[in-house]
Amino acid sequence: MSERIDAIKYEIFTHRLWRILEEGRIAMKMVSGSSVVVEGGETLSCFYDTNGVPTLSAAGVLLHLTGARDFIVKCIEWYEKDPGINEGDQFFFNDYYIGGQHLADEIVIKPIFWKGKRVAWTSAFMHTPETGGVEPGGMPVSATEIFHEGPRFLGLKIVEAGKFRPEVFKTITDNTRDPLLVGLDAKARIAANNVCAQKYLELVGAYGIEFVQAASKKIIKDSEKMSRDFLRKLPNGTWRARQYADTTGFDSKPFKVHCTMTKKDDELTFDLTGSSPQNPDSINSAFPATFGAVFVTLASQLFGNIPWNGGMIAPMKVIAPEGSVVNPRFPAAACQAPPTVGEMITATSHECVAKMLFAAGIYDRVNSGWSGGNGSFPHLGGVNQYGDSFGAQILDVFSSGAGAAPYRDGVDTAANMMNPSSQISDCEVTEQNVPLMYLQRMNGIDSGGFGKFDGGMGPEHIYMIHGGDNIHMGNAGIGKRAPAGFGMFGGYSTGLEEGIYVKDSDIAEMFKQSKVPVSYADVMKLKGEKVFAPAAMKVMPVKSFDILKTRHAGGGGYGDPLERDIEKVFQDVRLHAISIETAKEAYGVIINPKTNKVDNEATEAERKRIIAERLKEGRRLK
C-alpha cells in the first residue's frame, strides 16, 4: 500500500498528525498548573502503532521520546488478557525501569479503537513536581533505592471504558505532598490523550483507516531510510569521549561516563563500557533513561530534520554494562538521572557526534558541549505561604548556556539540550506558587567555556525564602568539582556550578538600606551560617530570609582562545561576559583598567609568552 500512497496527501496527513500532537501538548499546558510543564515545556505527545512502535512524536523533553514506548509494550504484555485493554481505557505508569527517567516522569497511555478494533495508541508524558519520596520535590537526592523516591505505578486504569476512576486518582495524588498540582497533571495527561485520540479518529474518518495505517507505517519507514541515507554520507570511524562528575553530598566522590561511538556504513553504536560502577546514591541512569539520553543527541544534533519515531532510531544501538551508572540493577535509586548521568550520556555522545560531523564537513551542525550538569538545581517542600502542603523544583537550569560552534559563540542562557523548546521559568509565577523570592537573575560572568568562540553564558540567581518557616530545601545535579560541558578543538570546558546557602541571614538589614545582593561578594558579606552546597545535597530546614545563591555552567568553548579576536575579548569584558582577569589568563588580552582600553603591545607580548610557555612546558608522550 505504501508505494501507492499519494505523495501530497501523505505530506498533508503527516503534518496534520504532527499538529494534533502539538495540540495534545497545548492541552497539557492548559490543564497543568506546574511550572515544569507550563514554562519548562516538559511534555510529550506521541502516536504509536498497535504494538507500541512510535509513529510520530511532539516534544518537549527529547529524553522521553524513546522512554515512553516500553510502557505500551509492558501494558500489552501484562494486561491484554486480564483485565483487558478496552475502548476508553487509560493507564497510568511511572516506573523508570520500564520507561522515562525517574518517578517524576509520569505517563498516561490510551489505546485508540476504530469500529471495536485497537488501531493505535497515544500517550501523554509529563514531569510532575512531587512524588511523595523521602524528600520533597520529586527528586529525593538521598534516596538509595527506587522505593525511597515515592510509589511506583505500573499501569493503573485511571480511566476505564471512558469513566474517570476517582479512587485511582486519589491514590496517585494523595501519596504526594502536592495533591493539587499532581492531580492537575494527571488530568492534563488524560485531557491530552482525549484530544489526540479524538482528532486521530477524525483523521480516520477523513482519510479512511486503510490510508491512515499505511501512511503511519510509511512515516516510520521513511524516517529509517532518511537516517540510514544520512549516516552513509558520514565517514566511518570511532570517536570517544568521557566526562567526570561528583556524587551526592558533602563527601562526594568522582565518577565518570565513557562513550565510544562507532559509525559503520548506516549503523551507529554507542558503547558506554568504561563508565563507573553504579553509585550507591541516586545518581544513576536506568537503561530506558540511558537510551533516551543518547536519543537527545540524535534528535537535536544528528537527525534534527528527520521525523522523530521508531524508524529514526532503528540504525542505533546502545551498549550499557549492567551494574554501571548507565544501567544500574534494580532497585538502585536513579531519581537524579536527567540532570546528572543522563546529561553526561548526552554530553559524551554529543562530543562524539560533533567530531564525526566535523570530519564530514557538516560544520553548521557542530557545536561544543551545552551546560551538561545542572548542579545546585533547587528542590523544596513543606508548608507554603498559603498554609498548604507543597513540593517543587526551581527550573531556572533550563536556561543553560549553549556550546560554541566553528564560526560563532554559543548562545547565552539558551536552553537545556534535553529540552530545547523550554522557556526560562517566570519569576512572578514561581513566587506565586512557591514561598520563595528572586533577588537576582542574570547571565553568569565567566560561566561559559573559553575559546576562539566562547561558550554561551549560564545563569546566576539569588533566591530568598519568603512566606514560610516549615520548609526543607536541597539541590540536585552535578558539575561542581568537575566541569559538565565539554570544550572542543582547543576550547575549554564550561565553568563550575556552585551554590551557597546563607541561613539566618541578616538580609532584612540590607533591605532597610534599600539594597539587594547582586553578586557572590554581596552574599558572602551577609551575616549568617554559610553552607557551601555540594552539587547534589539532601534537603535541610530553611526559613524566611534564608538565602541561596546559585551559579550554573554555560556552554563549552571552541578553538584555541588565543585565536579569539582581541576586540571581541574587550567587548566580552565590557559586557561582563568575562572578567578582566579571564581576558588575560585565558585569552592573553591585557586591558588597562585605568584607561579601559586594550594594551595592544602588551597583548601581543602576552600571547607570544603563552605560546612559548606551552612549547616549553609541554612534554612529548612518545
Partner 1 sequence: MRIHEYLEIVDKGGGKKAIKCIKCNHEFCDAKENYKEYALYRERPLSVFTSRKLLSGEEPFVVYQEYICPGCGILLEVDPYCELLDKENKIVWDIQVDV
| Footprint on this chain of partner 1 (rule: CB under 8 A) | 235-244, 246, 254-256, 274, 276, 351, 355, 358-359, 361, 406, 445-446, 450, 452, 480-483, 487-493, 495-496, 498, 500, 520, 524, 532, 558-563, 578-579, 581-582, 585-586, 611-612, 614-615, 617-622
247 burial via Cβ count (<10 Å: 0-12, 13-18, 19+): buried
| The residue to which cell 563527601 is assigned | 251
Least separation in angstroms between residue 578's CB and partner 1 is: 8
Burial letters 211-220, b for 16+ CB under 10 A, else e: bbbbbbbbbb
Nearer to partner 1, 334 or 578 (CB): 578
C-beta atoms surrounding 615 within 10 Å: 8
**Pairing verdict, β 316-319 and 267-271:** parallel
Dist. CA 553–CA 499, nearest whole Å:
12
Nearer to partner 1, 112 or 325 (CB): 325
Dist. CA 335–CA 322, nearest whole Å:
18
**Pairing verdict, β 547-551 and 591-592:** unpaired
Least separation in angstroms between residue 548's CB and partner 1 is: 14
| The residue to which cell 569584558 is assigned | 573
Q: Phi, psi (5° rounding) for residue 279?
A: -80, 150
Least separation in angstroms between residue 367's CB and partner 1 is: 13
Nearer to partner 1, 267 or 585 (CB): 585
Size of the chain in residues: 622
Supply the DSSP string of 346-414, one letter for each residue.
Answer: HHHHHHHHHHHHHHTT-GGG--------B-SEEEEEEE-TTS-EEEEE--GGGGPPPPPBTTBPPPTT-
**Pairing verdict, β 43-48 and 471-476:** unpaired
Nearer to partner 1, 208 or 237 (CB): 237
Nearer to partner 1, 277 or 304 (CB): 277
How are strands ordered across the β-sheet holding 436-443?
436-443, 459-465, 547-551, 498-503, 529-533
Least separation in angstroms between residue 475's CB and partner 1 is: 14
Least separation in angstroms between residue 490's CB and partner 1 is: 4
Dist. CA 607–CA 207, nearest whole Å:
67
Nearer to partner 1, 235 or 304 (CB): 235
Least separation in angstroms between residue 560's CB and partner 1 is: 4
Least separation in angstroms between residue 521's CB and partner 1 is: 10
66 φ/ψ sector (left φ>0, alpha ψ -120 to 50, else beta) = alpha
Least separation in angstroms between residue 513's CB and partner 1 is: 24
Least separation in angstroms between residue 283's CB and partner 1 is: 14
Nearer to partner 1, 30 or 611 (CB): 611
Q: Phi, psi (5° rounding) for residue 605?
A: -65, -40
Which residues are CB-contacts of 444 (< 8 A; sequence separation ≥ 6)?
457, 458, 459, 460, 495, 551, 552, 554
Dist. CA 224–CA 61, nearest whole Å:
21
Nearer to partner 1, 109 or 482 (CB): 482
Least separation in angstroms between residue 135's CB and partner 1 is: 22
What's the one-letter identity of residue 311? Answer: G
How are strands ordered across the β-sheet holding 154-160?
54-59, 43-48, 117-127, 105-114, 90-93, 154-160, 163-164
Which residues are CB-contacts of 80 (< 8 A; sequence separation ≥ 6)?
none
**Pairing verdict, β 54-59 and 43-48:** antiparallel
Least separation in angstroms between residue 235's CB and partner 1 is: 5
Q: Which of 423, 410, 415, 421 is nearest to 488 (CA)?
A: 410
Nearer to partner 1, 206 or 612 (CB): 612
Which residues are CB-contacts of 213 (< 8 A; sequence separation ≥ 6)?
49, 119
Nearer to partner 1, 20 or 353 (CB): 353
Least separation in angstroms between residue 451's CB and partner 1 is: 9
Nearer to partner 1, 461 or 481 (CB): 481
| The residue to which cell 560533533 is assigned | 354
Q: Are 118 and 200 in contact (CB under 8 A)?
A: no
Least separation in angstroms between residue 276's CB and partner 1 is: 7
Whole-angstrom CA distances from 96 to 71, 290, 298, 354, 533 are: 10, 11, 21, 29, 28
Nearer to partner 1, 97 or 370 (CB): 370
3-state secondary structure 302-344: HCCCCCCCCCCCCCEEEECCCCECCECCCCECCCCCHHHHHHH
Least separation in angstroms between residue 447's CB and partner 1 is: 8
| The residue to which cell 551559579 is assigned | 551
Least separation in angstroms between residue 617's CB and partner 1 is: 5
How far separated are the first and last CA of the chain, in Å rounded? 61
Dist. CA 598–CA 590, nearest whole Å:
6
Nearer to partner 1, 33 or 274 (CB): 274
Nearer to partner 1, 161 or 615 (CB): 615
C-beta atoms surrounding 157 within 10 Å: 18
Nearer to partner 1, 367 or 384 (CB): 367
Least separation in angstroms between residue 577's CB and partner 1 is: 11
Nearer to partner 1, 184 or 326 (CB): 326
